[in-house]
Chains A and B, each alone.
Chain A
Amino acid sequence: MGGDAYSVGWLRLIRLLTQYIVPGLAAVVMLGEVLSAPLAGPSLSGYASVYNYLLLVAFTLATVLMTAVCGWTVFLWDIDRLFFTLDGRIDAEVGEIEKKSSDPEPDGSLLGRAQEMLNSAVQTVRGRSVALIERAY
């Protein structure tokens, strides 16, 4: 129980860092770089020196942290297994779609005529239906 809460706390911290804090800081610094580029001189004033030290410490730590998070994520997700799982699922669905599309042509029976009617009607709303259901997930 306590371990779970601890783990959730770490996950939340990583999410906060990688999705909000580090990108936000990087965006602000890059914007500052672009805006201050024409004003930058060869010599560093006191403030600029402190600012650069802060940048150095903060972003060196951020780089090391992000490298660790990348490594952890790559191993945690196990991309090979992930792709294997999803690949198998996609193959199964594609197989079903192909099986459906290779179904015999509708004959003159009541069911065949209903199927034919449905097919022609479905063509018009098919795309919209797929988008609607996909969105709902």
Chain B
Amino acid sequence: MLSFPQPDIAAAVEQIDKSRRDLLAPLTELVASAIPLGNLPARIVSRLIFRYVAHEVKERLYRRLVLRFLSQLGALFALTAVCFYISILAWSRVSGSAFASASVSPANVLMYQLDLMLRGALFDVMEHTHRSVSPMAINQNVTAFVYYTLLFRMFVAVYVISSVFRVARFMFRRRWLLLRR
């Protein structure tokens, strides 16, 4: 139901909302072992506890659902970044002219990727303020490499940052609601 990449959100919500009488049996066992019941049968108490904590459980399940989607998306973005790193590292070794610098090391390539991600994330800030965290620049004559790195920069700007903004907005709203209460 929640399998990547096409989780059925409506079905997941429906599943959480569904009545789960089958859960009463393990809860009854827990209640019987944890509470000195006296004359009250464990089954009745477990039923009452179930009703008592149902909303809290549902809230936790919805939060877990949000976290699950975010972790899947985050893992996907991180994996793309790793793939890009390996590909530009291999590109720099295959074609010595991909970067305009003479000393191309894995650490320098990593810094170049970080610089590229910042340029994607901060839009024009890096260009406008002439800032860079990388000691290397790409060779503008290697057209394929230029457009390949542009693709990754666009990916960071369009997908990653827009997702981060939405997540931040969601979290801000929840925190704000929490503070208002």
Give the interface of A toward B (CB within 8 A).
Answer: 11, 14-15, 18-19, 22-23, 26, 29-30, 33, 37, 44, 48-49, 52-53, 55-56, 59-60, 62-64, 66-67, 69-74, 76-77, 79-80, 82-83, 85-87, 89-91, 93-94, 96-98, 100, 118, 121-122, 124-126, 128-130, 132-134, 136-137
Give the interface of B toward A (CB within 8 A).
Answer: 3-7, 9, 13, 15-16, 20, 23, 26-27, 30-31, 34-35, 45, 48-50, 52-66, 69, 73, 76-77, 79-80, 82-84, 86-87, 89-91, 93-94, 106, 148, 151-152, 155, 158-159, 162-163, 166-167, 170, 173-174, 177, 181
A37: chain B residues within 8 A (beta carbon): 106
> 13 additional contacts, CB 8 Å, given A63-B151, A70-B80, A134-B64?
A14-B5, A59-B86, A69-B5, A70-B76, A71-B158, A71-B159, A76-B5, A77-B9, A87-B170, A90-B174, A130-B57, A130-B60, A133-B20
Expressed in whole angstroms, the minimum distance between the Cβ of B114 and any Cβ of chain A is 16
Rounded to whole angstroms, the CA-CA distance of A71 and B77 in the bound complex is 10
Taking chain A's interface residues, is the majority helix, strand, or loop, or is none over half, making it mixed?
helix
Expressed in whole angstroms, the minimum distance between the Cβ of A62 and any Cβ of chain B is 4
Contact of B27 among A44, A69, A124, A133 (CB under 8 A): A133
Rounded to whole angstroms, the CA-CA distance of A133 and B86 in the bound complex is 44
Selected A-B contacts with CB under 8 Å, 8 pairs: A59-B86, A73-B73, A74-B163, A93-B55, A121-B45, A129-B50, A130-B60, A137-B57
Is the Cβ of B166 less than 8 Å from the Cβ of A80? yes
Chain B residue nearest in CB terms to A27: B82
B152: chain A residues within 8 A (beta carbon): 63, 67
A97: chain B residues within 8 A (beta carbon): 55-56, 59
